[in-house]
């Protein structure tokens, strides 16, 4: 079977952009982290102001880095698991340019102050329409390739990528419903408490089907590939998949505990979040058992090390999540840095690490040469691990302190600590988080250099001929 048969240049293009957006998004993340330590380093420039830059951070890492990485790996793996060349490669290139242009203009529009103020859906209506159209193109390419497959069963990773495409389309369209007033301003079709319920149905499931489900697609293809082992239990993967798709959707209201929304929705959200632990961990167990046969390779192979560590953080984040969804825990964690710690144990430990591992796997294959430096990749591994751990520990410390101090009452039943006292107590934690971010960013820079050097070392004759002739 020949690798040259596949359309991989568009994979490479998405991969390059994913690395670029990772770097830019993390620089923005480090910058907003620094602004909480030194609040004047926006220098009075509106675009660098905390609110706008933080929104740019989340948009760049989620939709620039995350989605570019997901599309790259989906296009790569769907061809291999279907044994056919990509359907409509021209459309894939159109998707590439459209998506990258949307991220460039979208980030600029956010820095300019265009925002819908809905978390993880901040881009204004012109971008919402562009994203919906691009997403349809993604669906056509992906399902078109599957429809032409040469193998009968549709491989597991494609179920997850498929769920990503379908469910995110549904969430995006409903949550973006709005009436435009001007080019950069629209008003939500839903108001107040209704808007909140719709937003967190979207917000939680964007996390569920993009940051969790989409990346599980990545896991199910690249983990067995790199470990050179078959998936441990096929039946477990079926049960876990459908339980995941069914249960996740119900859990959104755990973002609205004790808010002005009906009590039954909150309780339902909490119960479903607890149940969600089962399919989440079933998938983790399946992954761990798959890699168990490759223990020796795990010690030497950087790609596999990243992927397995990511699996561990996936286990942590999907354990912590249901705990945070318990109302009596959420009373303390809600609105605090604890949430930020939970977010980044998932975002750094799970999403970023599995993507890094996958890129260390992919780039030597795309370039046709071995990785430029395994040592550099190992240094990156330790920087990423240290950065993630420090980030999460600092935010746990900060979040638990906030949660307890804010709710603490004295003997007369009055609040014990003023808001500003608690704010001042956060400073050491914010500084630690900044250091953690710098370590994580430094590791990512090393990876970018390593991957660029690997590409630079490829034999030019293999890379250049047009795809048609290589087929």
Partner 1 sequence: MNWVSLHHRIERNAGLLIFGILLVSSIGGMVQLLPIVTGDSHAHPAPGLRPPTALELEGRDLYIRESCGVCHTQQIRPLLAEVKRYGPYSRSGEFAWDRPFLWGSKRTGPDLARIGGRYTDEWHRLHLLDPRSVVPASIMPAYPWLAEHRADRHGTIQARMRTLARLGHPYTDEQIAAAPGALDGRTELDAVIAYLQSLGGSMKGAPQP
To partner 1, the closest distance from the beta carbon of 92 in angstroms equals 18
Largest CA distance in the chain: 82
Using CB under 8 A as the binding rule, whether residue 125 contacts partner 1 is answered as: no
Residues that bind ligand HEC (CB under 6 A): 50-51, 420, 423
Interacting residues of 225 by C-beta distance below 8 A, sequence separation 6+:
361
Distance of CA 43 to the CA centre of its chain: 30
Question: Looking at 3, 108, 181, 462, which residue binds partner 1 (CB under 8 A)?
Answer: 181
**Nearer Cβ to partner 1 (191/461):** 191
DSSP single-letter state for residue 186:
E
The first and second tokens of residue 108, run together, are 């600029």
Select the span of 49-57, 214-222, 284-292, 382-390 touching partner 1 (CB under 8 A).
Answer: 49-57
When CB distances are held under 5 to 8 angstroms depending on the partner's kind, the choice from ligand HEC, partner 1, ligand HEM, none that residue 207 binds is ligand HEM
Report the DSSP pairing between strands 185-188 and 178-182.
antiparallel
Using CB under 8 A as the binding rule, whether residue 52 contacts partner 1 is answered as: yes
Residue pair 3/80 in contact by the 8 Å Cβ criterion: no
Residues 154-173 binding partner 1 (CB under 8 A) are: 154, 159, 162-163, 166-167, 170
Residues 54-73 binding ligand HEM (CB under 6 A) are: 54, 57-58, 61-62, 66
Question: 66-95 mask for partner 1 (x: CB under 8 A)?
Answer: ------------------------------
Residue pair 180/186 in contact by the 8 Å Cβ criterion: yes
139, 145, 147, 151: CA torsion to nearest 10:
-140
To partner 1, the closest distance from the beta carbon of 11 in angstroms equals 21
The first and second tokens of residue 187, run together, are 């008003």
| Residue among 130, 144, 24 nearest 92 (CA) | 144
Using CB under 8 A as the binding rule, whether residue 49 contacts partner 1 is answered as: yes
When CB distances are held under 5 to 8 angstroms depending on the partner's kind, the choice from ligand HEM, ligand HEC, partner 1, none that residue 113 binds is partner 1
Gyration radius of the chain over CA positions: 22
Select the span of 42-50, 87-95, 354-362, 457-465 touching partner 1 (CB under 8 A).
Answer: 42-50
Nearest-angstrom CA–CA distance, 368 and 230: 24
When CB distances are held under 5 to 8 angstroms depending on the partner's kind, the choice from ligand HEM, partner 1, ligand HEC, none that residue 162 binds is partner 1
Using CB under 6 A as the binding rule, whether residue 352 contacts ligand HEM is answered as: yes
Q: Total number of residues binding partner 1 (CB under 8 A)?
A: 94
394, 398, 404, 405: CA torsion to nearest 10:
150
When CB distances are held under 5 to 8 angstroms depending on the partner's kind, the choice from partner 1, ligand HEC, ligand HEM, none that residue 106 binds is none
Nearest-angstrom CA–CA distance, 33 and 438: 10
Select the span of 160-168, 190-198, 230-238, 317-325 touching ligand HEM (CB under 6 A).
Answer: 317-325
Using CB under 8 A as the binding rule, whether residue 415 contacts partner 1 is answered as: yes
Using CB under 6 A as the binding rule, whether residue 384 contacts ligand HEM is answered as: no
**Nearer Cβ to partner 1 (116/226):** 116
DSSP string, 123-170: S-HHHHHHHHHHHHHHHHHHHHHHHT-SSSSPPHHHHHHHHHHHHHHH
DSSP single-letter state for residue 86:
P
Question: 386-425 mask for ligand HEM (x: CB under 6 A)?
Answer: ----------------------------------------
Nearest to ligand HEM by Cβ — which residue? 321
**Which ranges in 408-425 belong to alpha helices (H)?**
419-425
**Nearer Cβ to ligand HEM (143/429):** 429
The first and second tokens of residue 260, run together, are 């002005």
What three-state secondary structure class fits 188? strand
210, 212, 216, 218: CA torsion to nearest 10:
50
Question: Looking at 325, 383, 385, 451, which residue binds ligand HEM (CB under 6 A)?
Answer: 325
């Amino acid at each position: 079977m020949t690798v040259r048969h596949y359309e991989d240049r568009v994979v490479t293009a998405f991969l390059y952009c994913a690395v670029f957006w990772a770097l830019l998004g993390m620089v923005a993340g480090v910058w907003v982290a620094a602004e909480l330590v030194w609040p004047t380093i926006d220098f009075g420039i509106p675009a660098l102001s905390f609110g706008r830059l933080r929104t740019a951070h989340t948009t760049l890492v989620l939709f620039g880095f995350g989605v570019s990485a997901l599309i790259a790996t989906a296009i790569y793996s769907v061809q291999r698991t279907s044994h056919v060349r990509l359907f409509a490669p021209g459309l894939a290139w159109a998707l590439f340019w459209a998506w990258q242009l949307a991220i460039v203009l979208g980030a600029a529009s956010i820095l300019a102050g265009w925002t819908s103020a809905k978390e993880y859906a901040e881009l204004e209506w012109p971008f919402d329409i562009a994203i919906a159209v691009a997403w349809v193109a993604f669906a056509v390419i992906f399902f078109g390739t599957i429809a032409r497959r040469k193998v009968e069963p549709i491989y597991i990773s494609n179920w997850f990528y498929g769920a990503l495409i379908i469910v995110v389309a549904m969430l995006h369209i409903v949550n973006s419903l709005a009436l435009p007033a001007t080019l950069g301003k629209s008003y939500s079709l839903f108001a107040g408490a209704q808007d909140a319920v719709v937003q967190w149905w979207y917000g939680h499931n964007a996390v569920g089907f993009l940051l969790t489900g989409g990346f599980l697609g990545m896991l199910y293809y690249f983990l067995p590939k790199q470990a050179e082992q078959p998936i441990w239990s096929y039946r477990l993967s079926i049960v876990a998949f459908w339980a995941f798709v069914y249960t996740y959707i119900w859990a959104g209201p755990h973002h609205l505990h004790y808010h002005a929304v009906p009590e039954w929705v909150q309780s339902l959200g909490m119960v479903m979040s607890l149940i969600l632990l089962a399919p989440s961990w079933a998938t983790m167990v399946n992954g761990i058992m798959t890699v168990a046969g490759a223990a020796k390779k795990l010690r030497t192979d950087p790609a596999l090390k990243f992927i397995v560590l990511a699996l561990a953080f996936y286990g942590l984040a999907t354990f912590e999540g249901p705990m945070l969804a318990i109302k009596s825990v959420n009373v303390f964690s809600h609105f605090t840095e604890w949430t930020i710690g939970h977010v980044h144990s998932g975002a750094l430990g799970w999403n970023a690490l599995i993507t890094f591992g996958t890129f260390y796997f992919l780039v030597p294959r795309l370039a046709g040469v071995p990785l430029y430096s395994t040592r550099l990749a190992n240094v990156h591994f330790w920087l990423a691990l240290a950065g993630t751990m420090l980030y999460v520990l600092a935010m746990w410390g900060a979040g638990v302190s906030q949660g307890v101090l804010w709710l603490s009452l004295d003997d007369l039943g009055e609040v014990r600590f003023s808001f500003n006292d608690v704010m001042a107590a956060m400073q050491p934690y914010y500084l630690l988080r900044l250091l953690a971010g710098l370590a994580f960013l430094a590791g990512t820079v090393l990876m970018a250099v390593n991957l660029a050097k690997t590409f630079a070392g490829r034999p030019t004759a293999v890379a250049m001929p047009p795809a048609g002739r290589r087929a």
